[in-house]
Amino acid sequence: MLLIDRATVRQVYPMNRAIEVMAEAMRRYSGGLVDQPLRTILRPESDSGLLGTMPGYVQGEELAGYGLKAMVLKPENPARGLDLHIGIVMVFDPDTGVPVAMMDAGAVTAIRTAAVSAVAADALARPDAGDLAVLGSGVQARSHLEAMRLVRPLRRVRAWSRTAENAQAYREWAAKKLDIEVELVATPAEALAGADLVCTTTSTKEPIVEAADLAPGAHLNAAGASFADHRELSSEAVARSTFFVDSRQSAESESGDLRAPLAEGLVGPDHIAAELGEVLLGDHPGRRAAEEITIYKSLGLGVQDIMSGFAIAEAAQAQGHGHRFTLD
């Protein structure tokens, strides 16, 4: 079994490769080639954190087999200089079941989440979209900026964060690593004004995106607020949009952004237009009009981690990276 650290994950799994793999992952999921239960969340009353597990089985000629992601979320970690999410992704040989590789889940999640958002933006955003608003300044805000530039030429980037220090660090990182100038703004509304491409990457429990702030024709990737009691989008913003998801089952069970307007009666059970995989398979046309507002709600699926895990393991082995560990 290969042990693959964070730096190696990032080295062998560049964003352009991840976008290709994630497009195939979404096609397989919506095409019925994936067996996976809803993720299991364990929240002990005696602890501030939680444990999430996401097992699954993926069919296909490549990047297929059993896999598992297990992650612990610890709210205190950022103050300790650690990631909020800590965990592992494991993949198993499809023939023998022998563990093939175990790797840092935080790095996998950072890349694959943004890569799926890039797939969604490429499928749903207007061809001329390029005025990007980023809400948040953490790991996902960085990886989403890296991903968005690969699917649309960015003519302007504005970012908002609750913490001025984090926002400034984000701006400096973007200039140094990506040669992209980021304008920092004081409110979400300022970032959203006129933006035709939006990425929300926060862990807020209260909406930060209002319907009136969304420009006609905008596409929004809602990649934060991954739990039923978290929301980034107001109910009116969801109701005004054509709403796409990674998984109907997951969104209906776990998305606070969808469950709130459903409970308020602003949208009906049929408000989900399609899964992203259904758009990629040609079962839904996606965007129908230039002025239409589209939202892609990303909760994260085990298939994304599993197929990423196999791709990373293959690349690490081919390039001679990782530490080999024998179970015998």
CATH of the domain at 170: 3.40.50.720
Residues 135 and 67 in one domain: no
Residues 201 and 101 in one domain: no
Question: Global pTM?
Answer: 0.96
CATH of the domain at 58: 3.30.1780.10
Query: How would you classify the pairing of strands 65-73 and 272-275?
Result: unpaired
Cα separation, 254 vs 116, in Å, equals 18
Cα separation, 15 vs 17, in Å, equals 5
* In the predicted structure, residue 282 carries a pLDDT above the cut 90: yes
Residues 45 and 100 in one domain: yes
* In the predicted structure, residue 327 carries a pLDDT above the cut 80: no
The sign of the torsion formed by the CA atoms of 42, 43, 47, 53 equals positive
E-assigned strand segments in the chain: 2-4, 34-35, 40-42, 50-58, 65-73, 85-92, 99-104, 131-135, 156-160, 183-184, 197-200, 219-222, 242-245, 272-275, 294-297, 323-324
Reported as type and span, the H/E element at residue 110 is: helix 105-124
Q: Which domain holds residue 224?
A: 126-301
Residues 268 and 312 in one domain: no
Reported as type and span, the H/E element at residue 30 is: helix 15-30
Cα separation, 187 vs 179, in Å, equals 24
Residues 90 and 80 in one domain: yes
Could you report the per-residue pLDDT of 241-270, keeping only the tens digit for each?
Answer: 999 999 999 999 999 999 999 999 999 989
Question: First and final CA of the chain: distance in angstroms?
Answer: 11
Could you report the per-residue pLDDT of 147-170, keeping only the tens digit for each?
Answer: 999 999 999 999 999 999 999 999
Would you say residue 168 lies in a domain?
yes
On whether the CB atoms of residues 237 and 211 are closer than 8 A, the answer is: yes
Mean pLDDT of 105-125: 97
Cα separation, 266 vs 255, in Å, equals 15
Residues 43 and 145 in one domain: no
Other beta carbons within 10 angstroms of residue 75's beta carbon come to: 11
Would you say residue 30 lies in a domain?
yes
More confident residue, 119 or 81: 119
* pLDDT band at residue 100 under the 50/70/90 scheme: very high
